[in-house]
Amino acid sequence: MNKKELKEFLDEKVILYNNPKFIESDPIQIPHQFSKKEDIEIAAFLTATISWGNRKMIIKNAFKMMELLDNSPHDFITNHQENDLNSITNFVHRTFNSIDLLQFIKSLHHIYKNYDGLEKALLIKDSSKNYQTAIHDFKKAFFEIEHQQRTQKHVSDPLKNSAAKRINMFLRWMVRNDNKGVDFGIWHSHKPANLSCPLDVHSGNVARKLNLLSIKQNDWKALFELDTNLRKLDKNDPVKYDFALFGLGVFEKF
């Protein structure tokens, strides 16, 4: 395929998957249960954090997390007392367990109290126009309070060459605003043009078959190459193609 044919092919797939039907089988359904901005972003952040492995299990465990936060995540994060945390035992999703969830609750409390929330804490503050340093700085802020070392692995660091798939997916959910009903577009201080594709096994394999990606590992260098090529197709909204790459990989076994 030449560039024009590739763009037409991927644009068709974006239309196919970027609609409310997509929500039914995707973890994004969890934040869609909420209407308040802070509830949406906290539910989305926690859901994205455990988004690896079996999708039905991700969704089941993300709903369980919301129940543990009394289905009012922002109020729980900002106003909980120490004894409110006693109910958070036995939670586990893969390697993310109740120790990690307790730490995330405390770190999110810190972010909302001292950094004015997730939206400001993840802003790009330099001229790089990508989230590499912003995510690194966010991770530093997230863990500058007392914490267990084990929990650090659940927030990726692009400056250590991680593709940061889950946090880039969370950013897509918050920042993209195309009125299609899937992504929320509630972070108006961020720009969709700066987003990076949530690079995982499925999207990476499809991108390689379409010659959008040559690097074999799914790391930040690969993500930079993929970003560069997707921006040639749409410089203002490159990450809309995540729907195409993911859909082709997961639903069509492309």
Using 50, 70 and 90 to split pLDDT, how confident is the model at 253? confident
- Helix count (H) and strand count (E) of the chain? 11, 2
Q: What is the pLDDT of residues 32-49, one digit of tens each?
A: 999 999 999 999 999 999
190 pLDDT higher than 90: yes
**In the prediction, which pLDDT does 145 show?**
97
What mean pLDDT is reported for the chain?
96
Which tokens hold the place of 84? 């409110």
Distances (CA, A) of 199 to 76, 129, 163: 31, 18, 6
**In the prediction, which pLDDT does 72 show?**
98
215 pLDDT higher than 90: yes
Mean pLDDT of the region 95-112: 97
At CA 246, angle to CA 245 and CA 250, rounded to 5?
A: 125
Percent of the chain with pLDDT over 70: 100
C-alpha–C-alpha distance, residues 214 and 212, integer Å: 7
129 pLDDT higher than 90: no
- Greatest alpha-carbon span in the chain: 61
127 pLDDT higher than 90: no
Q: What is the pLDDT of residues 35-88, one digit of tens each?
A: 999 999 999 999 999 999 899 999 999 999 999 999 999 999 999 999 889 989
Q: What is the pLDDT of residues 135-168, one digit of tens each?
A: 999 999 999 999 999 999 999 999 999 999 999 9
Q: What count of other Cβ atoms lies within 10 Å of the Cβ of residue 225?
A: 16
Instruction: Collapse the DSSP code of 218 into the 3-class scheme (helix H, G, I; strand E, B; otherwise coil) and give the result.
Output: coil
Mean pLDDT of the region 217-227: 96
**In the prediction, which pLDDT does 103 show?**
97
Mean pLDDT of the region 129-135: 94
Question: pTM, whole model, 2 decimals?
Answer: 0.96
1 pLDDT higher than 90: no
173 pLDDT higher than 90: yes
